[in-house]
Amino acid sequence: MSTAEGTAGGDTRPWGEVTPDAARRLLLAAVEAFAERGYHATTTRDIAGRAGMSPAALYIHYKTKEELLHRISRIGHEKALDILRTASGGDGTATERLADAVSSFVRWHARGRTTARVVQYELDSLGPDARAEIVGLRRQVDAEVRGIIEDGVRAGEFDVPDVPGTTLAVLSLCIDVARWFNVDGPRTPEEVGALYADLVLRMVGADDAGTS
């Protein structure tokens, strides 16, 4: 396990920061419902039923369905940002830090694919204020990856003519894992993480790509 993932991606109790337990159960139910049916097709009754609670009980903890989505999205983006910040702030070379960032980010999207699908693909369902907050977190995510790539270019480790475009491509590649990853498929999250790290190092022209 990488330093980045060990710090932010290895939760033993998913959503353990959400309290009390009833609020956590509702949030878990919302994640499942939004991933399965989409935000707009999911009702508060659907969420409460999955949590084994009455619709009225939901409003004790969340004023609206959007508040649930906002909290899911904020916590998810904060976890993703923690993973990338830890990798970016590591002691290794830019090549090593980029490989750590990509492999950890990919593993997070594969292991938490249900949550990640909601976090990454329901942004447009949020209202203007909530959406602005999440967009701000996404910009920070972008900045962490872009910073590693810029470090590699300055150090002569990477050959990247378009850093912003390459950053977008790297993040898109990682995020899309949540859409297609299948726990019963031929690759484990660790294997996909290692594959994508190698692909990204090749993408940026790292000297030692493919040698790890």
Q: What is the mean pLDDT of residues 35-41?
A: 94
- 209/182: higher pLDDT: 182
Whether the per-residue pLDDT at 8 is higher than 50: the answer is no
Nearest-angstrom CA–CA distance, 77 and 64: 20
- What's the chain's average pLDDT? 90
Q: Quick check: bond before 161 cis, omega within 30?
A: no
Q: Which of 117, 109, 42 is nearest to 72 (CA)?
A: 117
pTM for this prediction: 0.87
Per-residue pLDDT, 15: 80
Per-residue pLDDT, 85: 96
Nearest-angstrom CA–CA distance, 47 and 55: 8
Q: What is the pLDDT of residues 53-112, one digit of tens each?
A: 998 999 999 999 999 999 999 999 999 999 999 999 999 999 999 999 999 999 999 999
Whether the per-residue pLDDT at 208 is higher than 80: the answer is no
Report in angstroms the alpha-carbon separations of 181 from 13, 174, 196, 211: 22, 11, 13, 26
Per-residue pLDDT, 207: 74
Per-residue pLDDT, 14: 67
Per-residue pLDDT, 1: 41
The tokens of 201 are what? 């190092």
User: Could you write out the DSSP letters of every residue in 67-90?
Assistant: HHHHHHHHHHHHHHHHHHHHHHTS
- 2/180: higher pLDDT: 180
